[in-house]
Structure 1
């Protein structure tokens, strides 16, 4: 039964929530609040289904995924397998029809932040690099506060890593806040289909510190990481910090450090497979 349209003027129109509600069987009630306990959801987060009608919320992985307490779980428990199978078919029909008419893809444009955001990102990274220089100065002049149970070098490395990771996260937050809600990457992340905040940060803002064996890139020969750096250079660039984003592209040194970290990941995966 087609419900009464939510919008009557200038012409009758149904909302997306109404379309999806047709697929949900009546007598199903579901409530989930994401970060907040308000029954009014100004940001349309969480989920409220009353008698099979979606009241608020985005239908994401938490709602129609395989997790407990979601829509699928509730319908299976309340209505049985036959109705649950029908629900799968109905939701699939709605989604496939929408994709047929609208399509969904992602392009380079989805990773581009505007000029003011790029300024914020550049500022966050350069201020972090200045902080690292201060930490290096303190360590060289024996003024660095030692962390409990750590040597001077361990305290130094810990402090530097924390500073650089904070820079990547704050740059990533700037990029994420700048992306519009209609941005395809953001939609994928918020729907829970694929991707995460860190992917947005690395594509648009800054790839961040590359780690090998849980540490920054070690000096491979003659007290330096690559021939392109001077001896005893503990700066972020020399020790594997990638300040460019994937969108801007990596310098040859950054690319090499990134390949080192990537290689370790591949080896770990292969070894773990052999173990299990």
Structure 2
């Protein structure tokens, strides 16, 4: 459609011969957006300035906005039906500002904390950890498939590390193809604090030399949003465009690897072995016995008061301390009993989703449920639920949930 200076509009869809129309200075051409146009994308509430960023679009079918997974972090966007807004610049000045100031590569490092505001997240993190493990090798056909997804591949296949009886490549070799010539030495999540050796026995020390991943498992601590890690160092040394390209290529490569290898969780991976279960049950019983002893001391006024707290406040503090301590103890034993091949442990170790406390709650027990830092208050007349005794002070009657053998009525209700 063409709009003239006097306001008259001509719809080109209804013209038999479009060559009859001559564009003159002052005419406006109104068209649909097309691939490569610059737009502004926004998710409310717009709290930081990175809540609205510039993107280059690709027109796709249907009525859903689609964007790279790594870009969702600055928007604070998740996947439960978020509403986002698209703004199309109408002038050359606005388009220039979007392209040079607000485009995603220029917003990788947040001005708020001087560290990356976006990085590798969720499934790609887990894929990075699986892709860079020490004990995995790739055969020729799989290597050829992965090389087709390396954006700047020069056509030269890396030399295999094993030639006999058949050529095998390490996944670190393929991962190195998407890295710029950066130098980096960092530790990943699983690195022990007391380990000071040059080479980590558990491959927990990440060493990148001139873009070659020599050793180390890539996880959230390396490609996440922490300061002075791979993304931040690449941004400082090579600029936003190279960093943006690296993030995109890591996502494409790792996604195709996970697509072929697969990652799933079975119910068997959530069930602890017999020795761990016995230890958990014994820990729960010891915690309950300790709470009973605290109840007796409080009733007989033998409980040691804490500074600035009365009898009941000191009692509640000691009960919470005992129950939470038991949860942490049983959780550590459950974590130690899990194999490295356990897929839930892999997810937590890679930084994909959830802290290690989730492992404790799955294999051991959920623990004490607190509301505003306190145990569950009496909701009925002097009790939390109708099937508890009056003025009950025990763990179960005040929100303690432990179901290693299944949930009872009270735990199900809570």
TM-score relative to the length of structure 1: 0.85
Tell me what 1:168 maps to: 327
Separation (CA, whole Å) in 1 of partners of 2:197 and 2:161: 23
Q: Check if 1:31 corresponds to 2:185.
A: yes
Q: Check if 1:5 corresponds to 2:160.
A: yes
The alpha carbon displacement at 1:187 in A equals 1.0
Contact 1:2 1:22 (C-alpha < 8 Å) held by counterparts: no
- CA deviations 1:85-135 (Å, max 9, x no partner) are 332233123212211211112232221111111111111111111111111
Separation (CA, whole Å) in 2 of partners of 1:90 and 1:239: 51
Q: Check if 1:137 corresponds to 2:292.
A: no
1:246-257 alignment, distance < 5 Å = 248-257=405-414
Separation (CA, whole Å) in 2 of partners of 1:186 and 1:235: 33
Tell me what 1:179 maps to: 338
Separation (CA, whole Å) in 2 of partners of 1:89 and 1:219: 53
Separation (CA, whole Å) in 2 of partners of 1:54 and 1:78: 18
Tell me what 1:97 maps to: 256
Find the partner of 1:221 among 376, 380, 389.
380
Separation (CA, whole Å) in 2 of partners of 1:129 and 1:119: 15
Contact 1:132 1:235 (C-alpha < 8 Å) held by counterparts: yes
Contact 2:207 2:215 (C-alpha < 8 Å) held by counterparts: yes
TM-score relative to the length of structure 2: 0.58
Tell me what 2:101 maps to: none
Separation (CA, whole Å) in 2 of partners of 1:243 and 1:52: 49
The alpha carbon displacement at 1:201 in A equals 1.1
The alpha carbon displacement at 1:37 in A equals 3.8
- CA deviations 1:110-168 (Å, max 9, x no partner) are 21111111111111111111111111111112211111111111111100100000111
- CA deviations 1:173-199 (Å, max 9, x no partner) are 122111211111111111111111111
Other structure's SS at 2:396 match: coil
Query: Does 167-176 or 156-165 show the bigger shift?
Result: 167-176
Whose helix proportion is higher, 1 or 2?
1
Tell me what 2:402 maps to: 243
1:1-276 alignment, distance < 5 Å = 1-26=156-181, 28-33=182-187, 34=191, 35=193, 36-245=195-404, 248-257=405-414
Query: Does 60-69 or 109-118 show the bigger shift?
Result: 60-69
Contact 1:217 1:225 (C-alpha < 8 Å) held by counterparts: yes
Other structure's SS at 1:109 match: helix
Unaligned 5+ runs, structure 1? 258-276
Based on CA coordinates, which of the two structures has the bigger radius of gyration?
A: 2
Unaligned 5+ runs, structure 2? 1-155
How many residue pairs get aligned? The number is: 254
Whose strand proportion is higher, 1 or 2?
2
